[in-house]
Amino acid sequence: MSSVKIFSGHATKYLAEKIAQSYGKPLGEVTHQTFSDGEMCPYFSESVRGCDVFIIQSTFPPADNFMELLLLIDGAKRASAKYVTVVVPYFGYARQDRKDKPRVAIAAKLMANLLTAAGADRIMTCDLHADQIQGFFDIPLDHLDGTSIFIPYLKALNLDNIIFASPDVGGVKRTRAFAKFFDAEMVVCDKHRKRANEVASMRLIGDVEGKDVIMVDDLIDTGGTMCKAAALLKEKGANSVRAVVTHGVLSGKAYENIENSVLEELVITDSLPLRGESSKIKVLTIADLFAKAIRKIHDHESISSLFIQA
């Protein structure tokens, strides 16, 4: 069987090192050369001929992160790698997965096309913004589930009157999956937006009186929706409000919003690097989950055992 080699783009090296360590192999060496005008020229500093190559990079802004990933994929294919698996812990541009207004791009589909065109043989990611994005790829995609990270942590909290909440209607399916593990009820915060990152109004569907509420979402950006939903839940009689979110994008005034909110804590993963600090933010690592998935893929085994079954 061909040997495994794990590499990383510049932006996600902090996580790739943990994944490689958990897998039991050193992270492969990539040299990052940059021309004076900013043009990138990353290249592998070791042979990948005949190897199963895993390239780790989350595709968050700036766009150079995505461009670097494409160059590394192309470089691996041209260097005669046997199989190239692209590991994208956070799949950027996933919020643009449909035409919600005239004359707009479907960016998630474009990202999928570009990764395939660059030469990727397989994609591995975690908690896509919408499940149907899996269908945007014409190559195999392994969609890992963040519940296996969060469920053990939430169980360890030993909350008595637990109830789960979705901060919007679109997250109901994800929230219901969490509620099933705990045999708990769920509520929904129905929001109306006038424009991106700005909530115009919100109302609660369900009862949270005296409950310990866990809000569930796939990503948190400015934190406006999450903090407004937390305030509404508290207003409706919730005993405590926490949030578990896979991808901590945390841009704009996110850290300030979270610190000043009624949230007890915000639990996220390290799929994205933290850009600031807050006493309310708890980070759980997804390195072990991805390392196990890499091993199973290389050994041609099912990854179903990595999912927690309700």
Q: Where are the beta strands (DSSP E) in 210-263?
A: 212-220, 240-248
Helices of type H across the chain: 13-23, 64-78, 107-118, 147-156, 172-182, 224-235, 254-259, 287-298
Given a contact cutoff of 8 angstroms between Cβ atoms, the answer to whether 92 and 58 are in contact is yes
Which of 234, 242, 238, 262 lies closest to 156, judged by CA?
Answer: 242
Q: Is 174 helix (H, G, I), strand (E, B) or coil?
A: helix
What positions carry a catalytic annotation?
191
φ/ψ (deg, to 5) at 98? -165, 165
Half-sphere exposure of 176 (CA within 13 A, CB side): 5
- Amino acid occupying residue 37: D
